Structure 1
Amino acid sequence: MIIERSSEWKEGFIKRLENLEPWSNWSLYNMSYEVEKNNLITEFRGLQSPKYLPALTPLSHQLEVAETVIERMNGKAILADEVGLGKTIEAGLILKEYLIRGLVKKALILAPASLINQWIEELNYKFYIPAIAYKKSYSLDHYDVVVMSMDTAKKSPHRELIYAQDYDMIIIDEAHKLKNHKTKIYEFVQSLKKKFCLLLTATPIQNDVFELFYLISLLKPGHLGNFETFQTSFSASKHSLEHDEYLRELVNQVMVRNRRQDTGIEWTNRKVQIVPIHFTPEEKEVYDMILELKNVSPVFSGAFSMITLQKEMCSSKEATYLTLNKMRQNCVEADEAEFVEQIIQKLMALETNSKAEKAYEIVSEANDKVIIFTEYRASQAYLQWYLNSKGITSVLFNGQFNKNKREWMKRLFKEQAQVLIATESGGEGINLQFCHHVINYDLPWNPMKLEQRIGRVHRLGQEHDVHIYNLAIHDTIEEDILHLLNMKIDVFEKVVGELDDILSAFKKSI
């Protein structure tokens, strides 16, 4: 079989050109007109996209969010639904709607590296949007919808290549990572041309109210005034403010937030408690010696190192030893080194970890899958050894694992191990609805990290009540952390709205 390229079009073209013949006919014009008429969207209100998405059945609150952002917020919004309510689906609906209407042709999605594949799969298979994951060998000119990691996007030469594009829509997942206006990623996003822009985060305030100011300023510069105006108008400091009702009204003009109880879906209960722990006399002696360090030498009086040591001592002697050993190596004076050596000797002589014993007690009583969150890899390794000595199987999960290892650990946890011991990286990007118990072994300073951790299990698809155990050692820095967490929760609820229980079932008034 021989395939040849036809040249008839050329002959017909020359014939019409030379003889001034008509280019088309009335019948063809009418047919073309009818095609365009059928594709015309005459009403802007309401969503067109769901009828083009047979593989997706959006929930009612997701459809409402998409309509609100398109009709009332002109495509610039913070999507701040609680963890597990489908912010990715909402963003996909909005993007699909604008693509169908011809208002968006090119779109850039920035996300943490661990979530890129999830975005690609959802856009391609649920929304039929041909998105690709960016690679250094790709030319951005040739692809309309690109998903890229934040860390890659902010660096040269990728940053300059993105600036050269005319993106109609920018979507930023885990947008709370932009909270610090002095970072490169914040400056990068601030410089992007943003015809339409979606910022996705369940936690628009993590530590203080100024984070929300900078987030909204990225989206709509001037909406809350400049920094000085904002600070003066609301008497704002990190953990307090006035006129919060007016501020919430302004925030709601650019932010959509659904709580679980607003969705009409029947959710399982969240049972949260603070579990008090007491050090043994030997542990308390080491803790007090660590507090005494600041009086031994000015070298040890730095607030950061002292706070770190106190937190580590509340976690494990293994985590504490690593920091003390570095301090010992950096000692200049003999008496300083001698005092640190004394602490290390007493530390390593400890035979009991009161917090680990409590964690084991909870795991044993649960007799079910349990996630333990710790802030230190040394504590993570210790806990795995300790639980193994008690006959409890466990797997580790931390930020050093690549994508394949993370997926393997998740599978091992689901099919074999009873416990997953995760560092903070386990608080984002993994869904573990088959687990119903979470132990916050180490408390973070940021209450929204607790919400992120709990959201790994208390999300759509969870069929059982979720039990949360927040461990806190009496008469240590962990009591100060509890107090500060409550203050931060209070600010969040004044400006953004009510939170589900994350510390205990009873909210404290500060």
Structure 2
Amino acid sequence: MRLVIGIHDVPAELISAMSLGQLLPEDLVTKYKNRLLSEIELLRDEAQKSAISGLAWLMRLGILEVKVAAPRTSRGIYHQKRMIFRDKLGNVIAGTGSLNETMGSRENVEEMQFNLSWQTGFSGVDLLVQSFEEIWANEAVEVSVFDLDEEFATKLLLKTGNPPNPYLVSEATDAVEASKVLELARSGIAFTPFNLSSAVLYPHQERVFAEALSRWPVRVLMADEVGLGKTLEAGTAISYLHKFHQIRDITILVPAGLIRQWQEELWKHFELDFWRWDSGNSAYVSSLGESIGNSFAGSNGIKTPRLKIVSAQWARMKPHEFTKLRPELLVVDEAHAARVSETKYGTSSTQLWKLVNEMSTKVPHLILLTATPMQVHPSEYHGLLALLGLPEEWRDFQNYEESLRIIAGSNEKPTLQRSSTLANLIVSSVESNDWMPAYLSQEEMLQIMNLREKSNQSPLEGAKYVMAAFQSFRTILIKLHPGHFFTCRNTKSGLQQFGYVFPNRQFSSPEIVMPQNLNRFESGIENYLSGFYGKTEEALVPKSRFPIAFAKSSYYQRLVSSLYAANQSLHRRRAKILAISDSINSSGFDLGLAQLSDIVQEEDSVLESSFYDDLDSKLSLLNDSEIERVQVNARQELLHINELLAILNAEGEDLPSIDPKFSAVMKELELLLKQGPVLVFSRYTDTLKGFLSLFEKSSMAAEVNGYSFYTGGEVWIKTAAGVSEATKTDVTDALDEQQISVVFCSDAASEGLNLQSAQSIINIDVPWNPARLEQRIGRIARLGQKAETVNIVNVWYPNSIEAKMYSKLLERKDDYELAVGEFPDIFSDSIRNEVTELLNPGNPVTSNLAADLVNLRQDFQTIALKEIWESEVVDYPASREMRQDFVEYTHSMLGKSNSIDAFSAISSVPGNRNSIGLNHEALDVAANYPISIEVALKQDLFASYIGDKFIAFAVSNNPDVYRLLKPLSIGKLLRTIAGNDCLTVEDLGSEFSTSAADLHLRQFIQNLPNVPHHLLAKTIFENAPSAPEITGQVSFINLGKIGGSN
């Protein structure tokens, strides 16, 4: 069958653009196709969706061919109604007229005329047939025609939910349906984590999934190094608990800037609709933009969404509100902010730690995420472990610290006191967590049993027993340490031992020369910040301690980002000071707080906006002399701000064009673009927009394919077709498909974006915290990067403090890795201290980064934690062979079809958008494709159940004798169903009969390395919920027949 349809309801300006040569006809058709797809996705009527999917299947099967006719001029549309029918004997019916099947047919006068070849001869019919054939062959003068091919039909089917082939009639009626196999595998616990996400995990992430959940309640610290995928690991754990253990009330606590990213990732990869709390509007907002206005914890019988994402900053400010929640699972991102620190005054904890600590006694399941569990002091890591529930002996920080000394002091002679501590810690871990790791040797297990027996007899006997075999028990301590039990941590160096490949890094920094006039501006900034910045706020709270040093260093960071950012920031600062001054002059204390709040927000929270929330009350408490002091300080600050702005104004309005940093970036960008796409990073939107304005005036902007702009609040793509709003996925796709060559990124893009199609990064400004720099670099220097070397260009103004310190750090790879991986705050604090000393010359701050890093490297805590985290790291059964089977199955099923074009790039390699997993839509398309089986169907395939839970596939050659399919052989099973392969003994377990089925199925699940085993260990939580178990009768359901095994 052949069908030609016309393009209707296309804007006239598009038709005009096409007729003038400004828009190609194929571009018009592409826009039409995209509009069709987007409209079909909105259909709710099942009958309409069924009709469209039926047509799409006819197109995919080659039964129906469809072309689209676009007019060659802007004067009309293709509106012909013509039909030609031909039977096997050659008889033809040709009709033409105004037949209308739309609503208009009820009111219009319509008619059709038919010519019959056997009555009128072929004269009337021939004209109509000839006209149709000319249109079909694209030879008609008035219209251009384009194919709607099988690839488009496949997209139609995906938009309608990928329904099965309604016209499929299997040649072997008792053959297994591949679509049913997929449906079951996606529902079965034996196929976790492969059936939990559209994303494909790396082996180390699969291992974290199994280890993190092999305890009950689930209480764990996910601490992979920066860039190794903690968010995806956490999402997989959340999805598993929600899908298989009905944990419905889940709250995720994240930094404010990451709320949308978490929400998008959970929806995109796991189809979990988490609602974010929008505190500004007192409403929850879903992934799809729906809103529920409500109080945070619900009121008057109105319930809140069960899946929530909440800002950690808001929760800290509203602890009484947040602690009203009673989730079953609490996830805390950037958990190192929940910190316990040792100071000269004793131990102190952050507000976030206190908040999570209170919740930890009420929430059974707790997942913490951080790449840096210990920032400076071992008390910080101990504080995180305490949130998860330490055994009694380990709650004492001195005991914990002593455990690190024991592990670090491998050659020290043991004492009876130290042996006693070691004995108590080991016994406490074993008894409290009911945990004997599988990697303990038989001899070690026997030693532990003997120790427990002797310690029960007498603590002294236990200590002597340990002292006699101290090094053996030291090794046992490493394996049983809470740091090992609670923490799942992968490092790049550790993964390289198992064949992971990370690209080399080439760092460079172009030399920048500052003109004399700009040197005067730089000196003026230092003078302003050291003597006048923040004095107005200090005067507003004369009896309070104001964090002026931190505010100065943060503002300095913004001002030295670029001249354009400095100019914008100084204007906003002036507006803020004027607002305060004008309020006092009016004696009304009405600051226009909405406006002031906007100003503060623009300043990147340099001075916390909460400081200004109750500014009226602060002013009302001041006496006349204190008010005068505010006014004097405000006038002085305004004077210096105006002087700085005058220097910049003298340079002209186009600051980007005279900024030596921007000039250096332009030269670097031109060079790097010859190698491939480039990411341009800045922390500040002002800097990005300033540089973008310079770039767009250059010839480079016209020479590149296109470019994109990505910040937390603005994402767009510009190509030859114009500017269009975009999503994170759009940016990634456009870069992969070489539609764009440059992405201008704020730090919002340094989380969750995989942009390894680029191989160069230019940092217009460099984060003081090296972990944040690593986040940026991690967009390209990641698994899946094809280039052997990536380029990182750091741009600094001459003589800047961060330039001097980073230059020294990058000279030594081990120093850099230590600073990034474990102690980023040491480095950022060192820079901040240097800046503070520059801006406060009367208050010198002692700082020696090199000495600090040497001390940390040699410190017992660093040595001990390295041993704990890296001990017994084992390779994990890779699922890549399973994914390779998926690739081969898809290609074999769709290889002769145009549908393969939509999936030609699928890959078994994890970590990119083309990675194929168990939930990939390509498998659905392949499973619904008709097959012709040429092999003998000798075996029955069964689905085995315990109760109503699908467990595994079973193969049977003989009645009442089964063998279970190993989950990683699911791709092989699909290939077998298609007749392209045969299952082998290696794909199946041992034989068993129906009478032994219950025990066999349970042992099968228990022995799968990919499935979490909650009974393996227990965590400490009062009134903990019972560990989930699968209960019910065993049953087998016959799915049909497959080819025989080899």
TM-score normalized with structure 1 length: 0.68
Following superposition, the deviation at residue 357 of structure 1 comes to: 1.7
**Paired letter, 1:458:** A
Q: Secondary structure at the match of 1:473?
A: coil
Q: Choose from 340, 351, 357 the match for 2:663.
A: 357
Structure 1 residues not aligned, in runs of 5+: 1-46, 125-130, 235-240, 497-506
Which structure has the larger Rg? 2
> Which aligned pairs between 1:340-351 and structure 2 lie closer than 5 A?
340-350=641-651
Rounded to whole Å, the distance in 1 between the matches of 2:199 and 2:264 is 18
Match of 2:370 in 1: 201
Q: Secondary structure at the match of 1:467?
A: strand
Structure 2 residues not aligned, in runs of 5+: 1-188, 276-283, 285-291, 341-348, 410-476, 539-547, 582-630, 652-656, 702-706, 717-724, 825-848, 855-1046
Q: Choose from 199, 220, 226 the match for 2:389.
A: 220
Match of 1:375 in 2: 683
Q: Choose from 177, 187, 196 the match for 2:355.
A: 187
Match of 2:12 in 1: none
Q: Is the 8 A contact 2:222 2:367 kept in 1?
A: yes
Q: Choose from 716, 731, 746 the match for 1:423.
A: 746
Match of 2:710 in 1: 397
Distance 1:226 1:343, change over 3 A: farther
**Paired letter, 1:353:** D
Following superposition, the deviation at residue 199 of structure 1 comes to: 1.9
Following superposition, the deviation at residue 441 of structure 1 comes to: 1.7
Following superposition, the deviation at residue 51 of structure 1 comes to: 8.3
> Which aligned pairs between 1:303-318 and structure 2 lie closer than 5 A?
303-304=549-550, 306-308=552-554, 310-318=556-564
Following superposition, the deviation at residue 335 of structure 1 comes to: 6.8
Distance 1:412 1:381, change over 3 A: farther
Following superposition, the deviation at residue 78 of structure 1 comes to: 1.4
Q: Is the 8 A contact 1:76 1:197 kept in 2?
A: yes
Q: Secondary structure at the match of 1:466?
A: strand
Following superposition, the deviation at residue 365 of structure 1 comes to: 0.9
Distance 1:298 1:461, change over 3 A: closer
Distance 1:203 1:455, change over 3 A: farther
Following superposition, the deviation at residue 158 of structure 1 comes to: 7.7
Match of 1:238 in 2: none
Distance 1:224 1:360, change over 3 A: farther
> Which aligned pairs between 1:32-431 and structure 2 lie closer than 5 A?
48-50=190-192, 53=195, 58-71=201-214, 75-91=218-234, 94=237, 105-106=247-248, 108-110=250-252, 112-124=259-271, 131-134=272-275, 135=284, 136=292, 146-151=306-311, 154=315, 159=322, 162-163=325-326, 165=327, 167=328, 169-176=329-336, 178=338, 182-183=350-351, 187=355, 190-192=358-360, 193-204=362-373, 212-220=381-389, 229=397, 245=408, 251-263=483-495, 264-275=498-509, 277-282=511-516, 283-293=518-528, 302-304=548-550, 306-308=552-554, 310-325=556-571, 326-327=573-574, 329=578, 332=632, 337-350=638-651, 352-367=658-673, 368-393=676-701, 394-401=707-714, 405-407=726-728, 410=731, 414=735, 416-431=739-754
Q: Is the 8 A contact 1:372 1:439 kept in 2?
A: yes
**Paired letter, 1:364:** E
Match of 1:36 in 2: none
Match of 1:26 in 2: none
**Paired letter, 1:293:** Y
Q: C-alpha deviations, 1:459-481, integer Å up to 9, x for none? A: 34332243222223332232366
Name whichever of 140-149 and 468-477 sits farther off: 140-149
Distance 1:190 1:395, change over 3 A: farther
Q: Is the 8 A contact 1:87 1:200 kept in 2?
A: yes
Indicate whether 1:467 and 2:803 are aligned: no
Rounded to whole Å, the distance in 1 between the matches of 2:568 and 2:400 is 44
Q: Secondary structure at the match of 1:472?
A: coil
Q: C-alpha deviations, 1:201-248, integer Å up to 9, x for none? A: 334456877654544343336899789x579959xxxxxx99995899
Following superposition, the deviation at residue 412 of structure 1 comes to: 8.7
Rounded to whole Å, the distance in 1 between the matches of 2:731 and 2:302 is 36
Rounded to whole Å, the distance in 2 between the matches of 1:60 and 1:335 is 61
Distance 1:460 1:470, change over 3 A: same
Q: Is the 8 A contact 2:777 2:792 kept in 1?
A: yes
Following superposition, the deviation at residue 358 of structure 1 comes to: 1.9
Following superposition, the deviation at residue 484 of structure 1 comes to: 10
Following superposition, the deviation at residue 149 of structure 1 comes to: 1.7
Q: Secondary structure at the match of 2:806?
A: helix
Rounded to whole Å, the distance in 1 between the matches of 2:552 and 2:352 is 29
Q: Is the 8 A contact 1:81 1:259 kept in 2?
A: yes
**Paired letter, 1:191:** M
**Paired letter, 1:470:** N
Rounded to whole Å, the distance in 2 between the matches of 1:272 and 1:419 is 19
Q: Secondary structure at the match of 2:700?
A: coil
Name whichever of 201-210 and 463-472 sits farther off: 201-210
**Paired letter, 1:391:** S
Rounded to whole Å, the distance in 1 between the matches of 2:530 and 2:568 is 21
Rounded to whole Å, the distance in 2 between the matches of 1:149 and 1:360 is 40
Name whichever of 322-331 and 284-293 sits farther off: 322-331
Following superposition, the deviation at residue 366 of structure 1 comes to: 1.0
Name whichever of 51-60 and 309-318 sits farther off: 51-60
Distance 1:444 1:49, change over 3 A: same
Q: Secondary structure at the match of 2:781?
A: coil
Following superposition, the deviation at residue 299 of structure 1 comes to: 6.1
Rounded to whole Å, the distance in 2 between the matches of 1:87 and 1:335 is 48
Name whichever of 353-362 and 148-157 sits farther off: 148-157
Rounded to whole Å, the distance in 2 between the matches of 1:447 and 1:308 is 16
Q: Choose from 728, 752, 772 the match for 1:449.
A: 772
Match of 2:994 in 1: none
Distance 1:117 1:56, change over 3 A: closer
Q: Is the 8 A contact 1:105 1:144 kept in 2?
A: no
RMSD over equivalenced CA pairs, Å: 4.8
Q: Secondary structure at the match of 2:228?
A: coil
Q: Secondary structure at the match of 1:81?
A: coil
Distance 1:431 1:383, change over 3 A: same
Q: Secondary structure at the match of 2:796?
A: strand
Match of 1:440 in 2: 763
Q: Is the 8 A contact 2:372 2:822 kept in 1?
A: no
Q: What is the aligned length?
A: 437
Following superposition, the deviation at residue 106 of structure 1 comes to: 3.5
Q: Secondary structure at the match of 2:501?
A: coil
Rounded to whole Å, the distance in 1 between the matches of 2:679 and 2:202 is 29
Rounded to whole Å, the distance in 1 between the matches of 2:551 and 2:233 is 43
Distance 1:467 1:409, change over 3 A: same
Q: Is the 8 A contact 2:263 2:274 kept in 1?
A: yes
Distance 1:443 1:160, change over 3 A: same
Rounded to whole Å, the distance in 2 between the matches of 1:294 and 1:158 is 38
Q: Is the 8 A contact 1:73 1:253 kept in 2?
A: no
Rounded to whole Å, the distance in 2 between the matches of 1:93 and 1:407 is 20
Distance 1:391 1:52, change over 3 A: closer
Q: Secondary structure at the match of 2:780?
A: coil
Following superposition, the deviation at residue 303 of structure 1 comes to: 3.2
Rounded to whole Å, the distance in 1 between the matches of 2:647 and 2:557 is 17
Q: Identity percentage over the alignment?
A: 20
Indicate whether 1:477 and 2:709 are aligned: no
Following superposition, the deviation at residue 292 of structure 1 comes to: 2.5
**Paired letter, 1:443:** V
Q: Is the 8 A contact 2:331 2:368 kept in 1?
A: yes
Q: Is the 8 A contact 1:173 1:200 kept in 2?
A: yes
Q: C-alpha deviations, 1:246-303, integer Å up to 9, x for none? A: 8996634422111234343542413141415334132222212222335765866953
Following superposition, the deviation at residue 133 of structure 1 comes to: 2.2
